[in-house]
Every structure is written in structure tokens, then in C-alpha cells.
Structure 1
Amino acid sequence: MTTALPADATAFLTDFHAVAEIGATPNAGVDRQAATPEDRETREWFRTYAESRGWEVRVDGIGNQFALLNLTSNAPYVLLGSHLDSQPLGGRFDGAYGVIAGLHAADRIARRVSTGAAPHAPTYNLAVVNWFNEEGGRFAPSIMGSSVFAGIMDEAEMREVRDLRGISVREALESIGYLGTDERPDIASYAEIHIEQGRILEREGIPIGAVDASWHTQKLDIEVLGEQSHTGATLMSDRHDALLGAAKVIQRVHEVTDLFPPETLVSSVGQLTLEPNSPIVVARRVHLVADLRADDREVVRSARDKILSDIREIEAEHGLVINARDFDVRANQLYPEAGLQLTEQVADALGTGARRIRTMAGHDSVAMNRIAPTVMLFIPSVDGVSHCEREFSRDEDMVTGVEFLTEVAWRLVHGALQETK
């Protein structure tokens, strides 16, 4: 006999699976890239959820969307959230789970406060955020909205970033009605829950991960310049094929991981464009982005230097010009010990168990951790798969995560993080 879920759990799952229908793909994923009509539809869902409960909704100058709950007078906000945008043909859990979990946690806390469930009034107010362009699939760099909020990226500069079709962030946000002017909330702390995007929690049978640090990451923006010519009429010895050079760069980006112990470094090239992109023309220009990540900054630096050295060899071999520049460099972030202890206290209280874990992927919490005490939580990912339609987390794990986030947020609005310092 199946045990009926509590009403709160059922309500969360109903909302989560409803949002997953927005931008749904044939293979159970979603395609909701930043500032597209599908992204707008999820934003409208967020707004409706908040306004139906009497919460104030704000949108700032980079498209971040906030729902504000006033629990006490003249106090900053504990901020919960993640992002609703996705990768092209992405998964329905990445980001969206954290936003919807944050909204439901906030709703539960608001009802708890209204019934006088605590002996003392909250110390802080509560807010939920949907960050703009966390994924970076349409507009680079990723983690844009939270980085602007944290002062790491310049708002005016980010509004002028353009996608592959030449549309700017500003134009895209205006087109969906979400280029805002509202004041950003003053925050006391930040908490985010997310799917792990790895196999550790599933393998160990642990429902909650407490993120203690992030990996060092950086990208290389690489432009390969050759000479356009006829594929049928140009002798092989006379060619300066930008695509051939780019292919060799891609291979070197992959092979550099072999210089280090297994799983020390991960690298990839995930985006490539070429000109003129004709089947009978040797390419004259290729643009690609290489992504390097490791727990150790020096490993990333060493790999970067090796790739740059290889690029010089490829240039000389094929008569090309290859320009490479560093961008989106993100140093290791150590999450505060007080937040980790708070997470472990909640795990003890709820009887769930939790383990400390590092994040290889970037998250909005990496930016927010620079400006506010931050708690980052993971729930298990089946097979560790993410950024694809096969991405999956079980309903029971999501429900546990919402309950866990609610208790963390309840303690945060009552000043627990500050008390554990």
C-alpha cells in the first residue's frame, strides 16, 4: 500500500512538474534559454505564484526576479533561490528545482510565522530569487545575474553582451518585458538547493550534500583565423584551414587532462562557430570556447599554459593566426564553516544525514558567497547526469530537499547563521 504524501509535498511536486511542461522537449527535457518566450513563461509563473500570496515582486536591471516576504520591520532579507533558464535541450531539474523549492520553503515559513509557531519573531525578512542567465547558453558568460548582483560583473557591460544572432541582453530582456528598474533587496544571507550533477550522493545513499568549496574554473576564448578558399580547387599545400586548426586545438584541450592524475582536471570545448560555414569553402574563421576546471588553481593554470603553447605550434604548422584570451575566471570559493555546521545541525534534527561535498560545476551561490554568508545544498542526481534531457532526480529526493531547505531557511530568518559564527 502506497503511503499518501503530505499536502505540502504534493503541492510542491504538482508545481515542479507543471513548470517542467514549459519549454518541454520530446525526451522529457526543457529548452528555456535566457530571455526567450519560454523563459518569460516561467517568469510569469514565478510572478503569479508570489503575487497570489501577497508577496512583492521586483525585477532589477539585469533581469533578476525577486519575490519578497516581509516578516519583520526594517531588516535585510534571507535570500533563497536559483535559476529557471536552461541549456539548449537541457534537463528540467537544473536550476528550476532550486527556485521552486525556494518558493515552497518560503510559503511554508510564511504560514509558520502567521500561526506563531516560534517563540520569537524572525530577525530577518525572506526573499526568493530567479537569477537571470545562470546557464550562459545564450549569453556568455554564465552566472550573469547573480554576478552582477554581487558586483563581480558590470551591469551596463553585461546588458550589451550579444548572442550568436547579434541580439543583446538588453534587447532580449526588453522583448519579453523583463528589463526591470527595481531596487535590489539588501540581503543578510543566501541559501540555494540544487541537484548534485554528480554521482557521490546517489552512490553513498545520502540525501543531502553540504557544499564546502567550489573548483577553480576558467575559460579560454579562442579565435582561429585562416584563409577562405575553394575546397575543390585549392591544393592541400596552399590551404590555411581555420577549421583544421580548430580541430587540433579541440584535441589538445581534451588531451591536456592526460598530463594529470585521473579526474584531477576536466576540460571541454562546448561551443564552436565557423565562417563562412559553406560545404565548398575552406573555413576562414572559427571561434570556440575552452573550459578548464580543477580543485587546484595551479592545475588549471598549468593546463592553460600547455594549451597556449600547443596553439603556437598549430599556428606555425598551418599558417594560421590563433588569438586566445582568458575570461570567466572563477577562483575556488570556500563556503563558511558556520553554514556547514548549520546544515549538519538540521540534518541531525531531521534525521536525514548529510555529507560535505565539493562542487565542480559553477552555481549562483559561488557568486553570492563573495558578498554574504552562503549555504549551498545538493540532492542526488541519478547517474550524475546533467545538462541533457536524461537529467533526473527522484520525487522523494526533491521532497526531502524542500523540507531540508525549509528548516535551514527557518533558522536563517531567526539569525542562526550569525549565532554560529
Structure 2
Amino acid sequence: MAEVDTARFLADLHELRQIGKFKTGVHRPTYTPEDMQSRHWLMDRLREVGLTPSMDGIGNVIGRHPGPGPHLLVGSHLETQNEAGWLDGALGVLAGLALARAGLPVDVVAFADEEGHYGTFLGSRSLIGDVTEAQMDAAKHNMTGKPLREALREAGLESLPRERLDPSRYKGFFELHIEQGTQLENAGLRSGVVTGIVGIRYFKITAIGQQDHTGGTTMAERKDAAVAAMRVLSLIDERFPMHIGERTVWTCGRIMLEPNAPHIIPGKAELVFQFRDISEEVMDRLEELLHRIVQEVGRRDRCTLSVECLNRSPPALAHPAMHEALRQAATKHANGQWQPMPSGAIHDAQQMAKILPTAMLFTPSIGGISHHWAEDTKEEDLTLALRILADAAENYLKQ
């Protein structure tokens, strides 16, 4: 078995967390000076272990193994959410670095903007040829509105070409990640072998009523778009539980009212709503139910309601042979303290699965906390995860 240097692995993680340090976490939003510093830091580490590093025009960093294949691609991302954690993404990248240091034929990748500051999986989608120049031109920061092209110019990436992965080079893609949930911790387990990554469906639900005076308009006369929108959410929470899978989740993360003034009945309400599940059948069922709820509320509240699907991301199931390699390694190293489990969060592995065999491994998150500076994992669990990943990677390469 390849001998991984767990002490160096932990030292690398702690060194990287100093770049953009915020309390006990990090603040490295995409294309900021801190993010770019972390990418150049990684390129130096890749050279040290004998890989040939490059950075492309969207910020993806790849360190290529110079020897013969078959090769594995291993990695994740380096940028973070605002004032977030030190392990989300970075763990998977430095695990790849540790595998390369141990002599495995691994290419290490750090995808750009997995956190979605300028789009949805821009880096990994670009590497599989799923981002057009027109989409690059149109992309803007999700909060500030800064154009992507401007951010790339400021980061020194504007003149670089975007790379495209060659699937024939790789036998598969592995990604190690923190769980970002409480299932493992609550069960007293130390590792999770991911069965698949959930699919997501995003919707914009719009209610059009009648803007009017809050004092002069009687309740019988009102067509209140806000009330209609809230009733949709109430019925979703009431009826979805009768049609869901074991790990279905749903969220309304954005509510907008027009004109959004205290003395005016809202004439328009807009919800951005999503649900996630590992099963397309379950998601089909929920989408049909959502449309029925919206129709019912439109009739009841005398508002015009509509549903627009903004995005559909299909589930990505783990490749059977890679999944089995992880299961066997977890059985060997975790001494029964592991379980198979779906990923409720989305990851770059979901994009890689479109062109490569793919599998993921989870390590516990203390308190389930992620996307927050308090995010953490026990060091003994981090090193256990690295040993499981290395064993699985080595055995899968022999198949």
C-alpha cells in the first residue's frame, strides 16, 4: 500500500488556512487576492511533489503527473464562502497532493468557483466544455454584480486560455470532502462512503396580485401577492412530506416583494425555491405536486401564479467499482465506523461524473457546521479519511 505522509498532509492544511485567515476559518472568495494567493501556493506545492502545474483562464489549477498512466484525477476547490471554513474544498485538494506525494499516478485539480460567486460550477464545467464564451460574458458576481470578465482581468487570468480535460487520460475522479452535516457525528461514525450526489431543481414562483393601499382596500377586495406566495410555501411544507424520499430537502432561499413598502399591498411576489433528492422519480413527483399547489393557490387567492424552472441538475451516482474500492478501504481502516450515505450538498464531482467514473468520500463535520468560520473536523478523522482514500485509489488503479 502507498504510504501517505499524514503529518505533512495536516501541516499543508494548516499552512493553507493562514491564507485569508478569519477567526478559526478563512475568507477566500473567488478571484480575490487571497484566493489567487492560495492557487499560486498550491502550484508551488505541486512542483515540490514532481507534478507539472498550470493555471487556466478561469482559474483552474491542475498538477499533472509526468509518468505513464492509468492516472486518477483527485481534487476539489480552494475558494470559500465569505468568512467560512478551512476544510470545505481545501481538504480534497490537499488529499490529492498527499496521494501524489506518496507516489500514486495522480493529477491534482483545484476547480475555480465551486462556491458559485460568479455562476454554477464555472471551473469544473469549463473543464468539461460546458461553459460558452457568451456565458462568460454574461456572468456576474451574485451579490455585487461585478462582471466575471472584470474579475478575471483583475486576477491576472484574462490572457490565459481555458483548459479542457481529456477523459481518456483518467481512470476516474475521487473527491474527499467534509460531510457538511450531522449524520456521521450523530451516528458515532468516522467516515461516509458516498452513494451519489443529489439532484437539484430550482424554480422561480411568481405571484401577480394588485398593488393597492393598505388602509383603503378592504380584505374582501384584496389580491395580495405576498399572501399567495406565503400560502404556496405553507402548502409545500404541509404536503411535500407525503411524497418525499428518505433524504429529500427543500428550501425557499429568496423572497422578493414589489414594491416592498410598509403601506402598500404587494402587487408582485417572487420566490426562488429548490428541492434536492438522489432519485429522479421522487423529484418528478415533487415537481408535479408543486405545480398543483401553485394552481390551487392561484384560484383561492385570486392572483396569477406561475412556475418557471430555472435549473435542473441530475443526481450523480457513484461509479460502482470506485464506490466498492472505497467501501473495502473504509471497512479495513475505519473498523466498522463508517456508512454508505448520499451527499445532500452538491460538489464538483457532479460535473466530473458527466465525463469520468466518479466517487466521493466524506469525513465528519463537528456539529455539522460548514460555510461558517467555526467549521472543523478532528485531525484523527482527517488522517483516517486520507488513508481510506489512498487505499481505495491504489486498489482501483490495479483493477
Q: Note the C-alpha offset of 1:399.
A: 1.5
Q: Note the C-alpha offset of 1:233.
A: 7.2
- Of 192-201 and 380-389, more deviation after overlay is shown by 380-389
C-alpha offsets along residues 151-172 of structure 1, whole Å, 9 cap, x if unaligned? 5x33335422332433333333
Which of 90, 102, 113 aligns to 1:108? It is 102
Q: Please, which runs of 5 or more residues in structure 2 have no aligned partner?
A: none
Q: TM-score, normalised by structure 2?
A: 0.82
Q: Note the C-alpha offset of 1:232.
A: 6.9
CA contact under 8 A between 1:266 and 1:293: conserved in structure 2? yes
CA distance in 1, matches of 2:124, 2:222: 45
- Of 11-20 and 310-319, more deviation after overlay is shown by 310-319
2:118 is matched with which residue?
139
Is 1:330–2:309 an aligned residue pair? Answer: no
CA distance in 2, matches of 1:234, 1:36: 50
Which of 31, 35, 38 aligns to 1:39? It is 35
Q: Note the C-alpha offset of 1:82.
A: 0.9
CA contact under 8 A between 2:43 and 2:54: conserved in structure 1? no
2:53 is matched with which residue?
57
**Aligned pairs for 1:155-234 within 5 A:** 155-159=132-136, 160-162=138-140, 163-179=142-158, 180-186=160-166, 187-188=169-170, 189-225=172-208
1:121 is matched with which residue?
none
Q: Note the C-alpha offset of 1:39.
A: 2.8
**Aligned pairs for 1:292-331 within 5 A:** 292-318=275-301, 320-331=303-314
C-alpha offsets along residues 321-353 of structure 1, whole Å, 9 cap, x if unaligned? 444222332333332221122223434554655
Which of 1, 4, 9 aligns to 2:6? It is 9
Sequence identity (%): 31
Q: TM-score, normalised by structure 1?
A: 0.78
CA distance in 2, matches of 1:282, 1:386: 38
- Of 284-293 and 6-15, more deviation after overlay is shown by 6-15
Q: Please, which runs of 5 or more residues in structure 1 have no aligned partner?
A: 1-5, 111-124
Is 1:149–2:124 an aligned residue pair? Answer: no
CA distance in 1, matches of 2:240, 2:346: 19
C-alpha offsets along residues 60-119 of structure 1, whole Å, 9 cap, x if unaligned? 3443221222123xx564210011233344433222211122222222326xxxxxxxxx
1:120 is matched with which residue?
none
Number of aligned pairs?
Answer: 390
CA contact under 8 A between 1:216 and 1:330: conserved in structure 2? yes
Tell me which amino acid in the other structure corresponds to 2:79. D
C-alpha change, 1:350 and 1:296, in structure 2 (3 Å) is closer
**Aligned pairs for 1:21-36 within 5 A:** 21-26=18-23, 28-36=24-32
SS at match of 1:400: helix
Q: CA RMSD in A?
A: 3.4
C-alpha change, 1:242 and 1:126, in structure 2 (3 Å) is same
1:93 is matched with which residue?
87
CA distance in 2, matches of 1:225, 1:295: 33
Q: Note the C-alpha offset of 1:196.
A: 1.9
Tell me which amino acid in the other structure corresponds to 2:86. R
